[in-house]
Amino acid sequence: MQLYLDTANLDEIREAASWGVLSGVTTNPTLIAREKGVDFKATISEIATLVDGPISAETISLDAEGMLREGLEYAAWHPNVIIKVPSTTEGLKAVYQLARKGIRTNVTLCFNATQALLAARAGAFVISPFVGRVDDTGVDGMQLIREIAAIYKADPEIKTRILSASIRHPRHIIESALAGADIATCPFKVLQLAMRHPLTDRGIEQFLADWKARA
Ligand code: E4P
């Protein structure tokens, strides 16, 4: 399973990219707005210089025509830009039209397996089920990944990848991989936590202490 970073913060992307673990980046309007005063195009273009993989840029239009217009604009910024559209019927129309032009899409805000099936049929490059937000409703978000994985696996025509989104903690990363996700997009903090273990820290301390005290 590949790992993407879910952020528009360039310092976070630069740092995680230096670990050699990043295969892509996802952004959304909230994440872009969090980086006060930055220019959308400049930010996406800068990310493209830091990570050699798909970078999701999200449309804000509610109608297919607007999504298509935005998608064509964003796709011209860099060949790695993927157009994010919502899981709506207007989103499907945009996915279909963009796919016909060879432009890859990320169908976001997916909360059930039927949305994922229709997105795949329309030609989505990736589907983004929001596991954390499903968990928030008291339903097992990982079950959604399992259902989509089973549906996609059963249909050899479907090439759409499953991008596990709304990841809240390292356990979500492990469970996404086990449930059949192709990609997990993680906040920087979660990626940091994923490499932490108190026994690793204690082991390092002990080794250093023993080394210093050697005869
Ligand atoms: C995915 O592409 C989204 O940007 C993201 O994972 C949403 O996560 P949140 O539920 O933490 O906002």
Domains and CATH numbers, the chain: 2-212 (3.20.20.70)
How many A from CA of 165 to the centre of ligand 1? Answer: 6
- Spatial neighbors of 2 by CB under 8 A, at least 6 apart, are 23, 24, 53, 182, 183, 184
Strand partners, 158: none
Q: Please, what is the average pLDDT of the chain? A: 98
- Minimum CA distance residue for ligand 1 atom 8: 166
State yes or no: pLDDT of 215 exceeds 90. no
What atom of ligand 1 comes closest to residue 27's alpha carbon?
Answer: 4
* Cβ 165 under 6 angstroms from ligand 1: yes
Amino acid at 84: K
Question: Comparing C-alpha atoms, which of 128, 137, 143 is closest to residue 26?
Answer: 128
Assign 132 to helix, strand or coil.
helix
* Cβ 58 under 6 angstroms from ligand 1: no
How many A from CA of 187 to the centre of ligand 1? Answer: 8
Taking phi over 0 as left and psi of -120 to 50 as alpha, with beta for the rest, 20 belongs to left
- Minimum CA distance residue for ligand 1 atom 10: 166
47-91-118 Cα angle (round to 5): 110
Give the active site residues. Answer: 84
* Cβ 29 under 6 angstroms from ligand 1: no
- Spatial neighbors of 81 by CB under 8 A, at least 6 apart, are 44, 48, 54, 55, 56, 57, 74, 75
- Minimum CA distance residue for ligand 1 atom 11: 166
Q: What is d(CA 30, CA 60) in angstroms, rounded to the nearest whole number? A: 11
pLDDT 10s digits, 11-58: 999 999 999 999 999 999 999 999 998 999 999 999 999 999 999 999
pLDDT of 162? 98
* Cβ 132 under 6 angstroms from ligand 1: yes
pLDDT 10s digits, 182-202: 999 999 999 999 999 999 999
**CB-side neighbour CA atoms (13 Å) of 79:** 1
* Cβ 6 under 6 angstroms from ligand 1: yes
pLDDT 10s digits, 88-120: 999 999 999 999 999 999 999 999 999 999 999
How many A from CA of 192 to the centre of ligand 1? Answer: 17
Which residue among 34, 162, 185 is best mutated to probe the pocket of ligand 1, counting the most ligand atoms within 8 A of its Cβ? 185
Q: What is d(CA 214, CA 114) in angstroms, rounded to the nearest whole number? A: 63
Q: What is d(CA 191, CA 2) in angstroms, rounded to the nearest whole number? A: 12
Q: Token match 């899409």: residue?
A: 105
pLDDT of 130? 98
